[in-house]
Amino acid sequence: MKSKSTFGERIKLVAGVLLLLALCSFALGKKEKPVFYIIGDSTVRNGDGTGKNQQWGWGSFIADHFDTNRISIRNHAIGGRSSRTFITEGRWDRISKELQKGDYVIMQFGHNDAGPLDDTARARGTIRGIGDESKEIYNPITKRQEVVRTFGWYMRRYIREAKDKGAVPVVCSLIPRNNWKDGKVVRAADSYALWAEQVAKEEGAYFINLNELVAAKYEEMGADKVKPFFPVDHTHTNIDGAKLNAEIVVNAIKEVKPGKLKKYILGK
């Protein structure tokens, strides 16, 4: 009896081990949910993202439109950055190291790229255009020499490195400011919005013409109704303006259909 009991216990033990191995194998083989990364400047995420300064970026409300049980939303946008300084500060490198196949990166830069290349306040500007021009400068912020490239060069880097990791890049043109002329919102159709579109097309990335979409919506509403969206300045929206812009981004995602991103949208 003792021998039979021992044999039975061994069978149970072996079965338990096999079951544990099977569960571990399943857990290791199970794909984690994809990540939707958001990068940009203060119009995408303002301050600490709590709106305490009455200024919100549209990226802060993207998660409200997605099933976050199936996809993670990580808003890494930060105020004051240009397409250049988001890279030179190491922010993009940290994201790039985490990128995996099936992830998404949506990017919007341009508002801060028009600044000086080497001023003592921020030194965040980029060379205008999308060419291969470069200029070596002394950066008074970092206190070292730096080769500054064009806006398009930096945008290409985001797109190419995202693709190299198997992620899906989505380029947005910058949202318009609350500037009007002859009843129309002033666009950046001949500068940063145009350059963002050109680079996206050249690199085969998805493109959302946020500059035009938001401007058209503002014009539909009228200047008087849009004005309350900008309680502090003509660039940064309040919570209502940011939510509106986030909705425009999500609707555009439904239209351009980057990868499988649309299937994660709530109520799609």
Positions marked catalytic: 42, 233, 236
Q: State residue 213 phi and psi, 5-degree precision.
A: -60, -45
